Structure formats: C-alpha cells, structure tokens
Amino acid sequence: MRNFLAFIWEIIKIVILALLIVVPIRYFLFQPFIVRGQSMEPNFENGDYLIIDEISYRFREPKRGEVVVFKYPKNPSQRYIKRVIGLPGETIEIRDGKVIISNGEKSQVLDEKEYLSSNLSTPGSIRVWLKWNEYFVLGDNRISSADSRQWGPLLRENIVGRVYLRLWPLTALAKIEVPDY
C-alpha cells in the first residue's frame, strides 16, 4: 500500500509541475488559433492551425506585413486574423485598386507581390489617418474580407499577437515570415 501511495504522490507532483510549466506558456506566451473563413486565402486556409506569439508585442510594435490575431472591434469575444497594412501616424488610401501609404513626407503604393497575386486589386475607396494607437488591417482575400475598410482602424489594445507558426496542415508547416517592402 505504501508503494501505491508513493506512486500516486509522484504522479500528482508530475501533473502539478507540468501545469506550472504549460499554463503560463499557453496563456502568456503562445496560444493556438484555428483559421475560420476565407478572408486570408490563399495564404491561410479555413482550418489552418496556427501558433500565435503573444509576447513579442510587449517589447515592440507590430510591423507592416505581419499577420496578427486580434479581438474583433465590434465583438471583442471573437478573434480575427488579418495583415497589418497601415501603422500609427500614417494615412492609408485605397483608390483604383491600390493601397497608398503616406507618412506626411512621401506617398507610396504598397508593393504586396510577396503575398498577393499580381492580378488581385483592393476594392474600395477610402482615406484614413491613423492615430498613435491605431493600425489598418486587411485580409489577403480582399474581395471576401471584413476588415478596416468596413469597421475602421484597429486599436493597438485589441491585438492579441502575431502569427508565428503554421502547424496544420503538415504539408504547409512553416514559420510565418514578414514580407520585405
């Protein structure tokens, strides 16, 4: 009986130790996210299993081109996935199918060829100036994406983290890189 109790006590210690390691990692550093919908196709498909890095943005701000998961501004209980296009202090204009970014000194058409096909344009006509804590996000599937064109800039406080890794499907296993502009 004493051996059995010692065995049970060892199991309990292992479970407690595992929880002390796994729970903080899961809730404060990385968390899983499953893509729902078509707004990020062809780069992220419905059902893709992603790992979200929650810690990077505690030390730095999001960069243009990063794919982020955030609390949907109209319903914070929902999580959305989009690509950061506009940064705080910039003016974003969508005109003639192109995304134009101005920072006060210069304007440039955003070169998105690393993640969008060349025949894809961005529908809409909008001009938005971003405040110090706002980001402009778009889905990669511009025709089927509800994004900053519809509900406005994304507040920094709503960003949960950046997409770091795609785990599923295994054929698409990859670390998610930020495009060069």
pTM listed for this prediction: 0.77
**Catalytic pick among 63, 71, 82, 121:** 82
pLDDT at 29 over 60: no
Contact 52, 32 (CB under 8 A): yes
Give 92 or 171, the one with higher predicted confidence.
92
**Of 103, 93, 111, residue with least CA distance to 149:** 93
Q: Grade residue 156 by pLDDT with cuts at 50, 70 and 90.
A: very high
pLDDT at 159: 93
Which tens digits make up the pLDDT trace of 129-149? Answer: 999 999 999 988 888 888 899
**Of 112, 120, 127, residue with least CA distance to 142:** 120
pLDDT at 39: 84
Contact 128, 136 (CB under 8 A): yes
Q: How far is CA 118 from CA 57, 98, 106, 134, in A?
A: 31, 11, 24, 28
**Of 79, 169, 82, 93, residue with least CA distance to 129:** 93
Q: Please tell me the chain's helix, strand, coil percentages from 3-state DSSP, rounded to the nearest 5.
A: 25, 35, 45
Of the candidate ranges 113-127, 141-155, 167-181, the one whose mean pLDDT is the lowest: 167-181
Distance CA 64, CA 157 (A): 17
Distance CA 112, CA 118 (A): 8
The alpha-carbon radius of gyration of the chain (Å, integer) is: 20
Which tens digits make up the pLDDT trace of 63-119? Answer: 999 999 999 988 888 889 999 999 999 999 998 888 889 887 888 888 888 878 777
Residue 39 appears among annotated catalytic residues: yes
